Amino acid sequence: MTRLLRLLPYAVAIAVALALPRAMYPVLALDILLWGLFAMSVDLLLGYVGLLSFGHAAFWGLGAYAAAIAAKSTGVPFAIAALVGAAASALLAVPFGYLAIRRRGIYFAMVTLAFAQLVFYVANEWRDVTGGENGLHGVPRTFPGLALGRSADFYYAALPLILLGYVLAYRIVHSPFGHVLVAIRDNEPRAQALGYATWRYKLLAFVLSGGLAGLAGGLFALGNGFASLDLLHWTTSGQAVLITILGGIGTLWGSLLGAVIVLELRDALTSAPEASGVVTGAVFVVIVLAFRRGLWATGRDALRRFAAPVVSARIDISEGEVRHGRS
């Protein structure tokens, strides 16, 4: 019974993911899941290693371009193209991470931002491959035996890969490797004294984070049919950080909740794009002031405080029944 109760949240999450395209536009539903995965990759560094990256747009954008180029030039199935995007971003994260993790705090953030701007410049100048300012359009999405012309069809076809990314992120933070990352975040000198090569753990976390961002970016390009320079711009990194903070740093699933809020607001304000930034900023300020740990963490703590007296009362009743039976 206890095991079934533990599996219940995951069953509910899968049911919600399956029903999401029926509650909103399939394209918006796909974007929410992908931005949530992108923000999770940021939270993997920020919440569990304590490293604030302002350059994750490089991995999101590179994943998008790599997947788009693979799909257009070779015609491979979309799943292979998305994995190509994830692999390209993970490979790029190796040299970037090797250099960036030598810095801490704001210096780490600035180094990652500089690397992202370098990738943006290369993509803008390498017009023969990336299309320059025009980007790549008409990206095909194919898979043997499936018709993926409709957005809803592609959503369900891509859902297993997206869920795989979520599961991978969850397993990373709940594994012994993830516990070491938290120890490094809390007290790196102590972790070093215990014999952990902390720079290796941080580098591997950086590479895994870049790969997850690349997977999300690749599926974004395939789902929307384009890859553009906007995906590599520093404001894209800022939006991912914003989503992470709204949901709650170090909560992982809060990233998905933050993506729902930001993208729903953006969709609701499409008729007034000039007000989108103002409204999103106001919501961000209110949430930061009222829910300092983010929406997910604050809601989780409130639920635990509400449930604690109920559980305590049940235990008292059970103990009373036992004593009464003995007497």
Binned at pLDDT 50, 70 and 90, residue 321 comes out as: very low
Predicted local confidence at residue 40, as pLDDT? 95
Q: What average pLDDT does the structure give for the chain? A: 87
Highest mean pLDDT among 124-128, 279-283, 299-303: 124-128
CB 163 within 8 A of CB 14: yes
Q: How many CB atoms lie within 10 A of CB 138?
A: 9
Residues in the chain: 327
Sign, Cα dihedral of 178, 181, 187, 191: positive
Apex CA 293: angle with CA 288 and CA 214, to 5°? 90
- Band (319; pLDDT cuts 50, 70, 90): very low
Query: Of 213, 202, 247, nearest to 56 (Cα)?
Result: 213
**Please, what's the b/e burial string for 5-39 (b: 16 or more CB within 10 A of its CB; e: otherwise)?**
eeeeeeeeeeeebeebbeeeebbbbbbbbbbbbbb
Q: Classify domain 11-275 by CATH number.
A: 1.10.3470
* 8 Å CB contact between 224 and 34: no
Residue 315: the pLDDT is 46
pTM of the model: 0.89
Q: How large is the average pLDDT for residues 129-152?
A: 89
CA atoms within 13 A of residue 108's CA, in its CB half-sphere:
19
Pairing, β 226-227 against β 136-137: antiparallel
CA-nearest of 103, 102, 100, 69 to 87 is: 69
Question: Does residue 67 contact residue 219 with C-beta atoms inside 8 Å?
Answer: yes
**Domain coordinates of the chain in residue numbers?**
11-275, 291-327
Report whether 155 contacts 22 (CB < 8 A): no
pLDDT, tens digit, for every residue of 60-116?
999 999 999 999 998 899 999 999 999 999 999 999 999 999 888 889 999 999 999
Tell me how far apart the alpha carbons of residues 170 and 160 are, in angstroms, rounded to a whole number. 15
Residue 137 belongs to what H/E stretch? Answer: strand 136-137
Res 32: pLDDT? 95
